[in-house]
Amino acid sequence: VALIASRGVGGASLQEVSERAGVTKGALVHHFEHKDALLDAVVDRCAGARADRISIAWSPTLAPWARVRAALGALFTLASGAEGEGRCLVELAVSARTDPRLATKLNPRVSEVVRAFARGLAQSLAEMGVSPRAPAEVLAEVVWTTALGAALREESAATQAVHALEIMLVAHFVP
C-alpha cells in the first residue's frame, strides 16, 4: 500500500514489494501469481478499511450530527493516514482510467463506500428533520472526491477540508 501510495501502480514492481515486505519474490508470487492479483488485494484492503471506518462512524449510539462528523473524520483520517490508503486509492483510480481490469475491480468497491456514506448521511439527516437540497448520494460523491483530493495533501490540509465540508454541509441545510 505504501509503495503504491508513494510511487504509483507503475512504480511498484513485485521485486520491490517483496523487498519491502521482507520476503522473497518467489514467496510473494506464491501468494500473488501476478501484479494484478496483488492489486486486487490492495483494492480490497484500502476500500475495506474505508468501509469499516465509515461503518463504525455511523454508530447509532452517537447523535445524528456527531455521526456525520465522525464519518467525515473517518474518510479524511484514512485519506491522510500513515499507511497511505487514501493516496493508494488515488493512484489506483488514476491507473484504473486506462486499465479496464483494474477499473472493474476498483469501481464497485468505491461505489460501496460512497453508497454506505450516503445511506448513513440520509439516515442522520432524516433523524435531524433535515431535507437536503441535493440527494445524499450527490453529497456523498462530493465528500468522496474531496477525500481523495485531500489524500494528496498534508494532514493539516485534510483537517481543513473536513472543517470546510462541515461548514458547507451546514450551509446546505439552512434555507
Q: Terminal CA-to-CA distance of the chain, rounded, Å?
A: 43
Residues 107 and 96: beta-carbon distance below 8 Å: yes
- Give me the numbers of helices (H) and strands (E) for the chain, helices first please: 9, 0
Quick one: cell of 55? 461503518
Q: What is the pLDDT of residues 15-69, one digit of tens each?
A: 888 888 889 889 988 888 889 999 999 999 988 888 888 888 898 899 998 998 8
Q: What is the pTM of this model?
A: 0.80
pLDDT of residue 78: 60
Is residue 165 classed as helix, strand or coil in its secondary structure? helix
Q: What is the pLDDT of residues 74-118, one digit of tens each?
A: 877 665 555 578 788 888 998 999 999 999 999 999 999 899 999
- Above 80 in pLDDT, residue 135? yes
Residues 155 and 80: beta-carbon distance below 8 Å: yes
Q: Which is more confident, 70 or 169?
A: 70
Q: What is the pLDDT of residues 102-114, one digit of tens each?
A: 999 999 999 998 9
How wide is the angle at C-alpha 78 spanned by C-alphas 76 and 82, nearest 5°?
125
